[in-house]
Structure 1
């Protein structure tokens, strides 16, 4: 926070103390709109007998205040030290006007006002994420004597929708999708009453004047019933699948204890294996099925209400079909009034997964949802409050007692961070797990997860979100930044624009995403492990050791190259990776792998010999695929990273052994050679070693080899800082153990926490690389 107002012993301070009444103009920037900031200022002004006004100006709050020196000091400190729960002050400026000689003397004597907003451009603009319903609003919904009993859209200045309903700034009702709902007298009285917690709550509403819910079947026919929510609960208990509209889009919902309906949902959603998230009634229900630490409980109960990845209890009570071949489970708590009312003692757990067909855009418009989900959902529980910006639930893990964002969305997006203020930049990210990042007036804004751009609807939404940020932030003369991969949809989007462009190498973007998040500027060693990234030499990188800063890098280490056959098929069919690795070591794959189609395998071997549809790869992700296939864990995947995830889930954490490995220098680049690792795996398979032990020894080999290579680099480069980034570092066992070993040896080690370590963080890294390059020029 920048604080330009200090009450200290300066000459100005001694000059001011002689005035009985002082006047200041204050400007506050940050997340200060839509969070109850103006009512908060008003209430503090009445406490400390301050006169003046407060108003929204563009994306900031402006305060004119007049009072005695001591009262002004208390007033200002109360604003700085105890802002509203979801507010975030980024910049605070205070200008002394004058005391009793001022022309404004007594202009607001004994009056403090909330004035109408002013829409000024080219100011810092901060957007509040959507947050969960607060305890006070929840209490109103649950008490029959209140006028909001069972009203699911109940909210106040401390809770409710924000980012998903904002069409423009300043954050006033007429710039949101609540514009069409005219407040009734009671709601309007609350809105204008400084003593109400709904004072200037822009989405304020009640049963008489606000949005409403409806229940329809999958043909759009309204279900006539006494109580919509009670009827929906009965349908869920009867084994039906419901599409339920929330804050950022639709969820597909069913009873988490009904294995038959979960399997049916998987089949209809075309999601055979990928884990499904659940929503639990309360924290006690979570504790029935999962183990959780104090930090995990705190994260679950926070007003962001993310999906938190938790370890299952050995005696797991729910259907195994929710997260097959996983020892973990994604869990969230209710975050809207509707969710709280759907869950009860019978329905303590609901499967709540994104309302889409796999890899497609999450549905968020009523008509589109009915058209696209009517073959999946039996019924639709909808409402008539429009969603302006679609956003999925955020997914986080707690690692080393810190939140680590896996998927950025509701509650966390947009993520705002400081950057070089001179340039306006739009970074467009990668192909999968796409996000975009935009900079304006010294801050960057990282969007929510936008999905896989190969899907046409996801691509259209990608363009829609870019345009939304451009309009919202008043971005004009911007520079576009993209990945080096020539075939990415995001790259082709940039190439179609007649605007200045910068291209960025994939793994450098991962590296800088971590550096920028952790405010690192100097030369650093980056360990970047992922599945696919276009390398400077045209090969597919993914097991990289880089040395560099925000502007440039050198590749100083890598996983040894292997020639892999099959192009994109090799990612979807891990057995192709196994065949390719074995072939590179002069083994006959047909003599070793006896659970694949012999004709297909022979075709791959011949293609490898002829160099047909092959690519060089240093990807750690493909090595994981190879090992997973060799031991029979996974030969075909149905979601990204499945083979590696299932391999991690069978680790025997009591095993400390590893396979032998070699690190050699080749053309000034250190290489981790895989020959002896794979030979060790093959020997253990032959000797009948358990899959869990093989997985542990393989993981340990990567951990030890990575650390050994870093010990060498520290001596060669005289650098002690290391950043760990890339999608493979979603692997908790790998991340925690590399971190532990390196810090024990005195390294300073950093990894992504607020910015996704996977390709969801690429746009963030791209933007900061471009900013550094532009600043240099």
Structure 2
């Protein structure tokens, strides 16, 4: 009887919830849950998260705590819930209290997310007051990170401060039972932002419906600049060959694939082959660009993804996108549009209106724009499914600035400045690593400015004043120079490939040391050479290099990346000596001997011919030998096309592992023999991939023999090669290794800042023990 009385007796609990719990409908959710369970008390926001006090029957409070985690709003993310008992107060009813601001800000900002089903239903409901309103949103969807200027996350500190709410919107905003309660971007046609159609000169196009006018222009073959959540896209009809070609020409983007936006899954399925995991990723509320296998009979313009068999598709994520595709279909077109970043070649995506007109007026025939300012530019994320789970090419809109945890708390706040290419930065506070949106290649002032402005914005948003900075060892990178110029007590240089492996160790929380395989195009080594094919034993604080691809010269430095024929000649010379030019294969018959003679002398005199162990450059060399291409527009293009060429095979070429050197000369000689025998290029490409797989696997076996370790971490840009990655994972698992790859950050240099931050935190922790 006493036990029954104890279970039904009243109690009061204070719950502190941390995570993404502000601006996502968390307080009204708590309010409704408390009323449902007959509990009294209150909920309020503060600088560290949300505090809830609940009073009522013990069983009801226990159920309340369980449902708090299980039924939380879709955009929320609960990192922790702590509870403490309080004295009963006898309070009646449940209320939402005003926010309390504390000294230290620990709240998180939600990423921008796709229009939710409820808003989508209203968008196309002719009886709804927001019918066809392109800025419809609620607490479950819409812009967040891209409009936030400062915290706490209130309307006055977002770009929506320019749009005072009308009476109806304000009534929704202040009603805890309404799904727009405290939705900071809440607006309607009466009080909110508006769209406008402009011509290429920036003059207003007089029309009754700007979105319908845009659809008509796209259907006629126009290229339009369209302002979205995080910046401008350049759009055209994905089925219009001439429009796609013209976009490539204007944007000076000769080869890189364009992303497509399609109206729905059914349209996507006509273009690509999808499995259930890919469908789920495509439809997720984060709405990434998802790389998919293109159907052989795909009706899209072939110029969208030249030379490769995949298409990057995304579904609409802003109401404006839904309306545009709807109207495009209504006038008889397939609802599929090219949606590529609105920028000039190598510059960041345009996001300010004046910047958009300056950059894009020569590229676009018109502008579909709006008057809601974007505070922080944010490009689209690019993903795919590999081995049953997500792999990032680019982590950006929909994911940033949501933090990824470190395995332990950093003793000090850390800034990691990332890589030169595909730059992101990372700020660490406690266990939380805030990885930036995609910044890009730090090759011009505009991108470097975006990098520095982004750091300042993150520091302000998350109240982080770093006391340590982590940077790449390359002395000439602008972000390295930025880091070294900071007045900061701790400056920690992190070797490029160690950072790659550390990113895997940290995101999986791996204990102890692992065997690391780091493979990419370029990374500055501790010996001053260019690494890129590395076998190491590593933990977060350090690494030991066990083996590497045998060094070869990189004649002309960066020019050898853009002209892979140079690497083909280098590898042939390594395998055959100077006599390789007499080989009877297509490459040598077409080789410009005068150019090679100049390069050969540069190599002999060690002039601008640094030594490299890059696996990426080996892929370039083999691609050239097989006639894929002698020059590229972007790094990795030849390797991507080599992967597309490869046929499935079990044949392996001979190779040698000589102490710490992985020697590919036997492989090159075997490829030459196959070429001379007339073996097809697809077969040779398949055999090459299988050989790289086996050599790396055997290098891991030797590493296990010397170290006793059986955990392998794979990272680096070469592992964007799906064929190589899946073959190597399967082979290592056959050999009884436990294999880990990046799932939360890209394996390319976009994930480097997270690895740098993890290394810095580990070293700081060791220093302070």
Specify the TM-score bucket, using the shorter chain as the normaliser.
over 0.9
The question of 1:614 aligning with 2:609 is answered: yes
Q: Counterparts of 1:127 and 1:144 in 2: how far apart (Å)?
A: 33
Q: Secondary structure at the match of 2:521?
A: strand
The question of 1:284 aligning with 2:287 is answered: no
Match of 2:294 among 283, 300, 312: 312
Cross-structure match for 1:664: 658
Q: Counterparts of 2:200 and 2:103 in 1: how far apart (Å)?
A: 45
Cross-structure match for 2:349: 362
Cα offsets for 1:279-326 (capped at 9, x unmatched): 111100011010000000010001011000000111121111000111
Q: Counterparts of 1:733 and 1:83 in 2: how far apart (Å)?
A: 39
Cα drift, residue 80 of structure 1: 2.0
Cα drift, residue 56 of structure 1: 1.1
The question of 1:143 aligning with 2:125 is answered: yes
Q: Counterparts of 1:147 and 1:640 in 2: how far apart (Å)?
A: 50
Cα drift, residue 605 of structure 1: 1.7
Cα drift, residue 202 of structure 1: 1.4
Unmatched segments (≥5 aa) in structure 1:
1-12, 100-104
Cα drift, residue 610 of structure 1: 2.1
Cα drift, residue 597 of structure 1: 3.7
Match of 1:600 among 584, 595, 613: 595
RMSD, aligned CA = 1.6
Answer yes or no: is the 8 Å Cα contact 2:108–2:402 preserved in 1.
Answer: no
The question of 1:628 aligning with 2:623 is answered: yes
Q: Secondary structure at the match of 2:391?
A: strand
Match of 2:108 among 110, 126, 145: 126
Answer yes or no: is the 8 Å Cα contact 1:509–1:765 preserved in 2.
Answer: yes
The question of 1:382 aligning with 2:382 is answered: no
Answer yes or no: is the 8 Å Cα contact 1:251–1:353 preserved in 2.
Answer: yes
Match of 1:97 among 54, 73, 86: 86
The question of 1:43 aligning with 2:32 is answered: yes
Q: Secondary structure at the match of 1:565?
A: coil
The question of 1:337 aligning with 2:319 is answered: yes
Cross-structure match for 1:738: 728
Cross-structure match for 1:681: 671
Q: Counterparts of 1:771 and 1:411 in 2: how far apart (Å)?
A: 26
Answer yes or no: is the 8 Å Cα contact 2:653–2:667 preserved in 1.
Answer: yes
Cα offsets for 1:177-197 (capped at 9, x unmatched): 111211111111111222221
The within-5 A match list for 1:28-39 is: 28-39=17-28
The question of 1:747 aligning with 2:740 is answered: no
Cross-structure match for 1:428: 417
The question of 1:301 aligning with 2:302 is answered: no
Answer yes or no: is the 8 Å Cα contact 1:124–1:440 preserved in 2.
Answer: no
The question of 1:187 aligning with 2:176 is answered: no
Cross-structure match for 2:337: 350
Cα offsets for 1:415-435 (capped at 9, x unmatched): 412332421000000100000
Answer yes or no: is the 8 Å Cα contact 2:259–2:311 preserved in 1.
Answer: yes
Q: Secondary structure at the match of 1:179?
A: helix
Cα drift, residue 402 of structure 1: 0.4
Cross-structure match for 1:568: 558
Cα drift, residue 717 of structure 1: 0.9
Cα drift, residue 590 of structure 1: 4.2
The question of 1:417 aligning with 2:367 is answered: no
Match of 1:758 among 744, 748, 767: 748
The question of 1:650 aligning with 2:645 is answered: yes
Q: Counterparts of 2:579 and 2:421 in 1: how far apart (Å)?
A: 34
Cross-structure match for 2:234: 252
The question of 1:70 aligning with 2:59 is answered: yes
Answer yes or no: is the 8 Å Cα contact 2:20–2:77 preserved in 1.
Answer: yes
The question of 1:769 aligning with 2:759 is answered: yes
Match of 1:546 among 536, 539, 561: 536
Q: Counterparts of 1:747 and 1:739 in 2: how far apart (Å)?
A: 9
Cross-structure match for 1:475: 464
Answer yes or no: is the 8 Å Cα contact 1:521–1:550 preserved in 2.
Answer: no
Cα offsets for 1:205-259 (capped at 9, x unmatched): 1001111111111111000001101100010011100000111111000000111
Q: Counterparts of 1:230 and 1:505 in 2: how far apart (Å)?
A: 52
Cross-structure match for 1:212: 194
Q: Secondary structure at the match of 2:282?
A: helix
Q: Counterparts of 2:765 and 2:566 in 1: how far apart (Å)?
A: 45
Cross-structure match for 1:727: 717
The question of 1:177 aligning with 2:159 is answered: yes
Task: Please give the TM-score of this superposition, normalised by the length of structure 2.
Answer: 0.96
Answer yes or no: is the 8 Å Cα contact 1:582–1:588 preserved in 2.
Answer: no
Cross-structure match for 2:681: 691
Over 3 Å counting, the alpha-carbon distance change for 1:51 and 1:119 in structure 2 is same
Q: Counterparts of 1:619 and 1:451 in 2: how far apart (Å)?
A: 22
Cα drift, residue 87 of structure 1: 1.0
| Of 146-155 and 123-132, the range deviating more from structure 2 | 123-132
Q: Counterparts of 2:216 and 2:166 in 1: how far apart (Å)?
A: 33
Q: Counterparts of 2:668 and 2:623 in 1: how far apart (Å)?
A: 11
Answer yes or no: is the 8 Å Cα contact 2:106–2:463 preserved in 1.
Answer: no
Q: Secondary structure at the match of 1:207?
A: coil
Cross-structure match for 2:390: 403
Cα drift, residue 16 of structure 1: 10
Cross-structure match for 2:696: 706
Unmatched segments (≥5 aa) in structure 2:
none
The within-5 A match list for 1:104-123 is: 105-106=89-90, 108-110=91-93, 112-123=94-105
